[in-house]
Structure 1
Amino acid sequence: MTKLKNIKVVVSDLDGTLLNTQHKISDYTKSIFQELHNQGYLLVVATGRHHLDAMAIVETLGVPVYLVSSNGARIHSPNKEELFAFNLNSDVVKAALNVEIDPEITVVLFKENVWQTNRISEKLNAYQSELNYRPELVDYKKLEDFGAIKIFFSCDNHEKLVKLKDDVLANSSEHLHHAFSLPTCLEFMDKSIDKAVAIEQVLEKEGFTLAEAVSFGDGFNDVQMLSASGKGLIMGNAPALLKETLPDLEVIKTNAEDGVAKYIASKILDKELV
Structure 2
Amino acid sequence: MSKKKKIKVIISDLDGTLLNSDHTISAYTKSVFQELHRQDYLIIVATGRHHMDAMAIISSLELPIYLVTSNGARIHSPQKELLYAFNLEADAVKSMLSLDIDPEITTVIFKENVWQTSKTNKKLNAFQKDLAYPPEVVDFAELDDYSAIKIFFTHDDHQKLVELKNRILENNSDVFHHAFSLPICLEFMDKSVDKSVAIAKILEKEGYSFAEAISFGDGFNDEKMLDAAGIGLIMGNAPENLKNKLPHLEVISNNVEDGVAKYLSTHILNSKVKC
Pairwise TM-score range, normalised by the shorter structure: over 0.9
Give, in angstroms, the shift of residue 124 of structure 1. 1.0
Partner residue in 2 for 1:229: 229
Aligned partner of 1:158 in structure 2 is 158
Letter in 2 for 1:254: N
1:86 is displaced (CA, Å) by: 0.8
Runs (4+) of structure 1 exceeding 3 A deviation are: none
- CA distance in structure 2 between the aligned counterparts of 1:47 and 1:79, rounded to whole angstroms: 18
Matched with 1:218 is 218
More moved, 71-80 vs 142-151 = 142-151
Q: Which residue of 1 aligns with 2:63?
A: 63
CA distance in 2 between counterparts of 1:122 and 1:7 reads 40
State whether structure 2 residue 140 is matched by structure 1 residue 140. yes
Alpha-carbon RMSD: 1.2
Alignment gaps of 5+ in structure 2? none
* Partner-residue secondary structure (3-state), 2:186: strand
The residue that corresponds to 2:5 in the other structure is 5
- Partner of 2:161, secondary structure, is helix
User: Does the Cα contact within 8 Å between 1:116 and 1:136 map onto a contact in 2?
Assistant: yes
- For residues 1-274 of structure 1, what are the structure 2 equivalents within 5 Å? 4-271=4-271
Q: Taking structure 1 as the reference length, what is the TM-score of the superposition?
A: 0.97
Distance in 2 between residues matched to 1:134 and 1:25, nearest whole Å: 20
Distance (whole Å) between structure 1 residues aligned to residue 33 and residue 127 of structure 2: 22
Normalised to the residue count of structure 2, the TM-score between the two structures is 0.97
Deviations 1:34-84 (A, max 9, x none): 000000000000000000000011110111100000000000001100000
The percent identity for this pair of structures is 64
CA distance in 2, matches of 1:251, 1:112: 35
1:171 CA displacement: 2.3
Q: How many residues align?
A: 273
How many Å apart are 1:172 and its aligned residue? 1.3
Once residues 233 and 3 of structure 2 are traced to their aligned partners in structure 1, the CA distance between those partners, rounded to angstroms, is 15
Q: Distance in 2 between matches of 1:125 and 1:40?
A: 35
Tell me by how many angstroms 1:131 deviates.
Answer: 2.1
